[in-house]
Amino acid sequence: MAARLVARLGPRDHVTSTIRDLHWLPVQQRITYKLCTMMHLVNIGRALTYLINSVTATRDVVSRSRLRSSSSHHYEQPRTRHKLGERSFSFASPAAWNRLPPSLHELTNTVTFKKHLKTHLFTRAFGP
């Protein structure tokens, strides 16, 4: 609706090209952007304590301490019994974070991370 309002489109006009021209992310990519931004803050240790405590880094899992994955910046996804549990921060954020390319995991500057993350998600949504 916001794209229709900004571009003064009619109710039957397509908004995909307008969203692309405005360089806006679709809703699903926007959700991923927010989750990954919070996980970036967790990863660099600047998030709120309760967010840091709600996720577990793979390197902190005792059974994986000798595996190659322990040196990565991945986080464990807890098991859920219901589909609703997959919406929780402790499940959805590590899932979104682990799908990112390793080059984004290594960024420590938040502004740079956000810029590269938006470019990555925009390219994934609309292609090159």
Q: How far apart are CA 67 and CA 4, in angstroms?
A: 50
Q: How far apart are CA 51 and CA 33, in angstroms?
A: 16
**What's the pLDDT at 111?**
98
Residue 113 dihedral angles phi and psi, to the nearest 5°? -60, -45
Band (pLDDT 50/70/90 cuts) for residue 80 is confident
Q: How far apart are CA 30 and CA 38, in angstroms?
A: 13
- Cβ contacts of residue 77 below 8 Å, gap of 6+? 91, 94, 95, 98
Q: What is the arithmetic mean of pLDDT over 71-88?
A: 86
**What's the pLDDT at 90?**
94
In this predicted model, what pLDDT tens digit does every residue of 7-66 receive, in sequence order?
Answer: 999 998 989 999 999 999 999 999 999 999 999 999 999 999 999 999 998 877 666 655
Q: Which tokens in the block code for residue 66?
A: 């000798």
Q: What is the arithmetic mean of pLDDT over 108-118?
A: 97
**What's the pLDDT at 62?**
60
Q: How far apart are CA 15 and CA 110, in angstroms?
A: 30
